[in-house]
Amino acid sequence: MIISAATDYRQAAKRRIPPFLFHYADGGAYAEHTLRRNVEDLGEIGLRQRVLKDMSSLSLETELFGESMAMPVALAPVGLTGMYARRGEVQAARAAAGKGIPFTLSTVSVCPIHEVASAVDRPIWFQLYVLKDRGFMKHVLERAKAAGVKTLVFTVDMPVPGARYRDAHSGMSGKHGGIRRMLQAATRPRWAWDVGIHGRPHDLGNVSDYRGQPTELEDYIAWLGNNFDPSISWKDLEWIREFWGGPMIIKGILDPEDARDAVRFGADGIVVSNHGGRQLDGVPSSARALPAIADAVKGDLAILADSGVRNGLDVVRMVAMGADSVLLGRAFIYALATAGEAGVAHLLELIDKEMRVAMTLTGARTIADLGPDSLVTEARLR
C-alpha cells in the first residue's frame, strides 16, 4: 500500500542500510504506542473541502524570525544523520537550502557545525542538548555563532534517553552493543561503501573534543545517558538565552502549562513535540496536543510542531491546527538513506506538490488562510 513518498522511502531504506541503523531511526520508546499515534491521529484530522473559489494562484511562502521560507517546513535535528549517507548532514542541508527551507543540525551530528554551515548559502539552525559540562555547552554555542548560526533550537525533552527496546535488540545499545561493533558486522556492502565507513572515522563532529566522547561512537546511547543533565530547569536556560542573543526555540513542549512557561521565559518559539515517540510512551500525539497549546499561546511566540508528519497533507493539517511551521524527522532520514541529497530534494518537492493540492481543495490561497476554520469539527458534521 502506498501512503506517501516517505513510506516508500522507508521501505527502500530498510533494504539499503544495516538493521541497527534502520531501527534506530524507525523505532520509538517502550511499546511504541505514541510513535504509532503520532501518524494515526494526524491522519484522522479532517480538512473541509471547499470549491469554486478560483484557486489559480497559491503561495506556500512564509517567514519565521525574519527568515523567508519557501514553505512552512524545516528539517528536524536528527542525531547520527551522517551515518545514513556520506557526510549526510551536508547532503540534507544542501537539499533544504535548495528548496529554500531551514536545516537543523543536531548536537550529536557526524559533521561538525562549520562543515555544514559553510556548505550552504543560507544560515542553518543549530540544536543544543543540555550537557552536564556547561563550559563545553558555551564552547559549542560559540562555535555555532562563529559559523553564522542565528537560530538556536534547545531540546528539553531528553533529560534522559527514553527506553528504546529496538536499540537493545539490534545491538545499538546495551552492554554488548556499540556502533563500532555494529559497523564491523555491517551486512550492507553498498551502504558501507557509500557512507565510507572504511575511510573517514565517524566521530560526533560537535563533541569530538568533549571529554569522554565515545571513540568512533561506541556505546553512543550509554554516552547520551551519562552526559545529558536531568537537573535542568527553566532557571538554567536563562544564561543560555543571554549568552546566545539570537532567536531561541524550545523543542519538546507537549503541555499548555509548559507552553505558557516558555512564553514567560521569553522564548521566541516552541516545538510541540514528543520527540517522534522516542521518549515517554503513552504521552499524547502531537496532533492531539497541538490545538490546546495553540489556544494557550498562539500569537505570543512562534509555534512549530513535529512528530508523525509524513507528507504535505500532514503539514497542512498541522498548520491548520495552529503551527506556524512543521519539522520533518524520519521522513527526510528515509529519503536521505535511500538516495542522499537527491532523495531529500525529491521528498521536499513532493511535499510542496501535496500541500498545493490540499490547499487548493480546502480553499486556502496562503499559509495565513489555514486555521481552525479549515478543519472539519464534530459540530460542523452534525
Q: Taking the complex as a whole, how short is the minimal distance between the CB of residue 128 and ligand FNR, in angstroms?
A: 9
**With binding defined as CB under 6 A, does residue 108 bind ligand FNR?**
yes
Amino acid identity for residue 276 in this structure: G
CA dihedral 168, 170, 173, 174 (to 10 degrees): 60
Closest approach of ligand FNR to the CB of residue 21, in Å: 9
Q: Is 218 helix (H, G, I), strand (E, B) or coil?
A: coil
Candidates 4, 62, 127, 206; binder of ligand FNR (CB under 6 A) is 127
- One of 32, 89, 167, 306 touching ligand FNR (CB under 6 A): 306
Residue type at 378 in one-letter notation: E
Among 4, 34, 38, 91, binds ligand FNR (CB under 6 A): 38
Q: Which helix (H) or strand (E) segment is 314 a member of?
A: helix 312-320
Q: Measured from the CB atom, is 116 or 363 closer to ligand FNR?
A: 116
At 165, which helix (H) or strand (E)? helix 165-170
Span 206-245, contacts to ligand FNR by CB under 6 A: none
C-alpha 297/C-alpha 307 separation (Å) is 20
**Which one among 13, 74, 78, 303 touches ligand FNR, defined by CB under 6 A?**
78
Number of amino acids touching ligand FNR (CB under 6 A): 25
Interface positions, 338-357, toward ligand FNR (CB under 6 A): none
**What is the nearest approach in angstroms of ligand FNR to the Cβ of residue 43?**
12
- Among positions 154-183, residues that touch ligand FNR (CB under 6 A) are 155
Quote the cell numbers at residue 250: 524550545
328 binding ligand FNR? (CB under 6 A): yes
Give me the amino acid identity at 338. T
275 in catalytic set: yes
Q: Check residue 18 for interaction with ligand FNR (CB under 6 A).
A: no
374 sits near ligand FNR (criterion: CB under 6 A): no
288 binds ligand FNR (CB under 6 A): no
d(CA 109, CA 126): 10
Query: Which residue type does 278 have?
Result: R
Least separation in angstroms between CB 230 and ligand FNR: 16
Q: How far is the CB of 330 from ligand FNR (least distance, A)?
A: 3
Task: Name the helix (H) or strand (E) containing 370.
Answer: none
> Please, where are the H alpha helices in 196-275?
220-227, 234-244, 256-265
**Interface with ligand FNR, residue 311, by CB under 6 A:** no
Distance CA 64, CA 216 (A): 37
| 137: three-class secondary structure by DSSP | helix
**Stretch near ligand FNR under the rule CB under 6 A, chosen from 228-236, 261-269, 306-314, 353-361:** 306-314
Q: How far is the CB of 34 from ligand FNR (least distance, A)?
A: 10
Q: Pick from 308, 312, 322, 363 the residue near ligand FNR by CB under 6 A.
A: 308
Stretch that binds ligand FNR, among 93-101, 144-152, 268-276, 334-342 (CB under 6 A): 268-276
Cβ-contact 145, 96 below 8 angstroms: no
Largest CA distance in the chain: 63
Closest approach of ligand FNR to the CB of residue 308, in Å: 5
- Taking the C-alpha atoms of residue 287 and residue 104, their distance in angstroms, rounded to an integer, is 22
In terms of CB distance, is 308 or 363 closer to ligand FNR?
Answer: 308
Contact between 225 and 126 under an 8 Å Cβ cutoff? The reply is no
Q: Encode 77-108: b = buried (16+ Cβ within 10 Å), e = exposed.
A: bbbbbbbbbbbbbbbbbbbbbbbbbbbbbbbb
Q: Is 329 in the site for ligand FNR (CB under 6 A)?
A: yes
Report the interface residues with ligand FNR, using CB under 6 A.
24-25, 38, 76-79, 106, 108, 127, 155, 251, 273, 275-276, 278, 306-309, 327-331
State the catalytic residues. 275
